[in-house]
Structure 1
Amino acid sequence: MGLLQELASRLAIPGLPEWTGLLALLLLLLAGLAYLLMPFSVFGLKGRLDSIEAQLDEIQAEIRSLSLQLSGAPRRAAADDWVDLPGRSRAVEEAPRVSPPVPPPPAWPESPRGGRAEPRLDWPGDRRR
């Protein structure tokens, strides 16, 4: 009992009576107990678990139907299932060139219309006109 009173006095809020610490301790214990005893459906897990269970049932049913279809089909013999490998054909290797390839003729840019490529500058004091 002394341990409980010491814990309650530590939890007491300064300026309030000592029983407020005991009240805070009881509230914390009650909240912890509520979380332990609360069903999973309150957290929203039950709906998710139900949907996962339904999906699992559908997958199992599909696997069963596929296995029944495969067991009813006649199996091919191992000789029918074998595919021969394609034969290796050696490509004729070309001999390397003795002379280097001829380069294409140089391409010269077309001449501009006016003979000048840069813009003309007209300065305010220019008297060459």
Structure 2
Amino acid sequence: MLQQLASALVIPGLPDWVGLVVLVVLALVALAYLLMPFSVFGLKGRLEAIEAQLDEIQTEIRSLTARMPEPGRRRAPVEDDWAEPPKAARPPIEAPRLHPPIPPPAAWPDDNSRSRRSEPRLDWPRSPR
């Protein structure tokens, strides 16, 4: 049976016993990982840190719960400390416009020295004066 296993594990180009040695080494590595304590992986330190944080959170929740009033006994609202701010004269708020504002009509200057024509004059070439 061992010879059948050894013949099944033969790696071409290498001696017959190399496959068996590789299998034994892999089995030992797997066994070492199974038997290795978790602190080697760093899990123990992380678990202790998480546990410390959880203890701090629980302590903070207890202190907050102790400071809260009981549900049956409510404190009166504090109105003595509140001062109403002075009301400034605010302009009345206009309703928003539905249409944009209409601009005023264009104002034309009444200057007679300038021509009222806006298109260019086509008297080229100019004759010398």
TM-score, normalised by the number of residues in structure 2: 0.52
Match of 1:50 in 2: 48
> Aligned equivalents of 2:62 and 2:36: distance in 1?
38
One-letter code of the match for 1:14? P
Structure with the largest fraction of helix: 1
Matched, 1:68 2:66: yes
Deviation at 1:34, TM superposition (A): 0.9
Deviation at 1:36, TM superposition (A): 1.1
Retained in 2: the 8 A contact 1:9–1:22? no
Match of 1:22 in 2: 20
> Aligned equivalents of 1:45 and 1:106: distance in 2?
83
Return structure 1 stretches of 4+ with deviation > 4 angstroms: 71-74
The unaligned stretches of length 5 or more in structure 2 are 78-93, 108-129
Deviations 1:25-48 (A, max 9, x none): 111111111111111222222221
Deviation at 1:72, TM superposition (A): 6.7
Match of 2:30 in 1: 32
Q: How does 1:104-123 map to 2 (within 5 A)?
A: 104=104
User: With CA pairs under 8 Å and 6+ residues apart, which has the higher RCO, 1 or 2?
Assistant: 1
Aligned pair in 2 of structure 1 residues 105, 9: CA closer, same or farther (>3 Å)?
Answer: farther
Give the RMSD, CA atoms, in angstroms. Answer: 3.6
One-letter code of the match for 1:70? M
One-letter code of the match for 2:51? E
> Aligned equivalents of 1:7 and 1:25: distance in 2?
10
Deviation at 1:71, TM superposition (A): 5.3
Match of 2:103 in 1: 103
One-letter code of the match for 1:17? P
